[in-house]
Amino acid sequence: MAEDGQPPAKRSRYDSTAEENSSRGSGTSSHSTAVLERDNELWLDDGNIVLVAGGVGFRVYKGLLAAQSPVLCDMFGAGSLRADEQYDNVPVVPLFDSPIDLRHLLRVLLPKSQRFVMKDRYDHKTEFHIMSALIRLAHKYQIDDVEKRAISALCSIYTTDLTDWFDFVRTVSDDDSCAIAAVNLARLTETPTSTILPSALFNCVLLTSDVLDGYTREDGSVEYLSQDDLKRCIDAAPELSATTAGNALGLALHAQGLRCSRHRCVWRVPQSATHCRRSWQRLRAPWML
């Protein structure tokens, strides 16, 4: 099985012997020794461009991709395509991306099923890698609408809303290494620091020394925090611990004689809710950098 659950793709060569002979007559060289692995899902027999990433070929529609990405549009331009790089007389464009990441992007740009239509929310445990791939590649190829929706989905996980954040922390363990990727994605896209970064960096601190191990992507590659963000986590850990302890004590004293139910506040006194919100603001203040 392939890494993302797809059945293994068939292997084929760039050009057959007949194509090689034909190319000799036309002055076009062949790739008879280069092995190309067809993607089982995104190999369309009538496609007019072959994208190759990590040795995997995706035969798709040039016009549909060019209409959505100015970067791909430039790459597909007549002056950019080499006549000697073809497969079945279809131009071949090499890309320096993970085939798994590229498959996620192409599923959104050329959906063959409703289940691949882009969503407003993704499951943190099972679909974070999809958001990560979409943000990174959409940013790279300047597909603005995909990038914005994927970032919005990421913001719904690493949120600044207290209630939503409590819902999130109850669903993840302390080893949320996805937070490392979330920080890097926020930096990459220059997302406002008041959105994703506070809770993502907070979760990075909870990783303690494991933050040095980085985040392993779906394709097996590993990404790490930048030196600046790593230093920020190390420096903030003791201060955050002290601040957390002080606020926890303040909340405990304030709650004397009042009922509390886990993370859900059941106080019916407006001043109590205000006090909690202010305590939360003090907790997250060090992360708004």
Task: Report d(CA 262, CA 155) in Å as an integer.
Answer: 24
Residue 57 to residues 81, 124, 153, 166, 242: CA-CA distances in angstroms? 16, 29, 29, 43, 53
Instruction: Supply the pLDDT for residue 189.
Output: 95
Q: Which of 34, 5, 1 is nearest to 19 (CA)?
A: 34
Task: Return the pLDDT at 265.
Answer: 54
In contact, 288 and 198? CB cutoff 8 Å: yes
Length of the chain: 289
Spans of the chain, pLDDT less than 50: 1-3, 5, 7-33, 256-259, 261-264, 266-270, 286-289
pLDDT of residue 117: 64
**86 DSSP β-pair partners:** 91
11-20: Cβ within 8 A, 24+ apart? 11/35, 11/36, 11/37, 11/38, 12/36, 12/37, 12/38, 14/86, 14/87, 14/92, 15/86, 15/87, 19/88, 19/89
Measured CA to CA, the distance from residue 71 to residue 78 in angstroms comes to: 14
Tokens of 21: 């002979």
Q: Which two tokens stand for residue 203?
A: 């979760």
Other CB atoms within 10 A of residue 7 CB: 9
- The helix-helix angle for 178-188 and 144-157 (nearest 10°) equals 140
Write down the pLDDT at residue 22: 36
Q: How many helices, marked H, and strands, marked E, lie in the chain?
A: 11, 8
Nearest to 60 by CA among 9, 109, 119: 109
What predicted TM-score, i.e. pTM, was given to this entire model? 0.72
Picking from 119, 192, 207, 129, the residue whose alpha carbon sits closest to that of residue 160 is 192
Rounded to whole angstroms, the Cα distance separating 76 from 95 reads: 12
Q: Give per-residue pLDDT as tens, 240-249.
A: 776 666 566 5
Alpha carbon distance, N-terminus to C-terminus of the chain: 43
